[in-house]
Amino acid sequence: MPEFPWGAGVATGIGSLPGTDIAEAQRIVLGELPGLPHLPELPERGPGADMIGRTAGFLVELPVQVYAGRWQVAARPGQDLRRTADLLERDLDQLTEQADGYSGPLKIQAAGPWTLAANLDLPIGGRMLRDPGAVRDLTDSLAEGLRRHVAEVRKRVPGATVLLQLDEPSLPAVLAGQVPTESGLSAYRVVDGPDAASRLRSVVEAVDAPVIVHCCAPEMPLQVIRDARAAAVAFDLSLLKDLDPLGEAIEAGLGIFAGAAPTRPVAGRRPESKQIADRVRTLWQRLGFPAARLPGQVVITPACGLAGAPIGYVRALLKACTEAGRRIAEV
């Protein structure tokens, strides 16, 4: 069985949490997800804390700004980029303080190159996705920026095994040619699977850390993710329709971050660890893999980010995910 850079029966979050207090968010994550904590993202803080702006802040020699409510490539760094850098610095300072002495896996997140290309505008208008040369430059810039970010986190938490999650919610639409142009009357070109995998792989190979590709959209492109040489894939279990590609990916040694816990309260009920664990066990049994392999290869997560959830529910959910991880480890 392949070795994975996390312990057996662990749980983690996808990334985003509600609120604007990074100190409190970091306390929740380190307290409720001791086996695989992550650096929380707080998009409610506004531009620069959102997924696209935060990731654009990592770009090397490719400055960005907010224009008409959207992020676009800029001629030079300005106040939007300074705010983005300041928010990240505060987050990393909290991580350094609260994770002092921590030893084990630690996950950080950023948007992947295709989601960034589908949401970041060129100075002349239109998404970067329209220009293959711009996508290439964007990917190279992102790869170098994330390599530096991983190195910085490793320096601040020297006992951590840093894992990088690339969020790619737009990847299925990019592959299907369904990213709309500004007018909404047409869509950008189809990107074929090998090209998509090649750009993703250039980031995966540059960052010097195991990479998880997260896609919580329907039609998750597992073959592209495997061809990009990711260590794991993260997805919402409720969107899974075809089990065969997943079975092949597991057989090939891909790690699974199973989004098995609802991101909002269901009928006012608190999340139950037994129910979460049973969902994952049932899927594993349907796929026909040995029970002993489950806790090492699978990490339990919420179905997606938790930015819009009540804070009390978030605490209970992350606690239930951790307990569900312990349950699946009891083979």
Instruction: With cut-offs at 50, 70 and 90, classify the pLDDT of residue 127.
Output: very high
Instruction: Please state the rounded mean pLDDT for residues 53-65.
Output: 97
* Helix/strand/coil for 57: coil
Across the range 9-32, mean pLDDT stands at 97
pLDDT band per the 50, 70, 90 thresholds, residue 270: confident
- Compute CA distances 67 → 80, 123, 125, 197, 217, whole Å: 10, 10, 11, 30, 27
Strand partners for 160: 104
Residue pair 230/211 in contact (Cβ under 8 Å)? The answer is yes
Two tokens, residue 324: 């569900």
Give the tens place of pLDDT for each residue, 141-162: 999 999 999 999 999 999 999 9
pLDDT at 182 (0 to 100): 84
> What does the pLDDT read at residue 331?
63
Buried/exposed 207-238: b ≥16 CB within 10 Å, e otherwise? bebbbbbbbbbeebbbebbbbbebbbbbbbbe
What is the separation of C-alpha 80 from the centre of its chain, rounded to a whole number of angstroms? 23
Residue 268 has pLDDT above 90, yes or no: no
Residue position matching structure tokens 């990107």: 191
What does the pLDDT average to over 312-330?
96
Quote the mean pLDDT of the chain: 95
pTM exceeds 0.85, yes or no = yes
Q: What is the pLDDT of residues 173-197, one digit of tens each?
A: 999 999 999 888 899 999 999 999 9
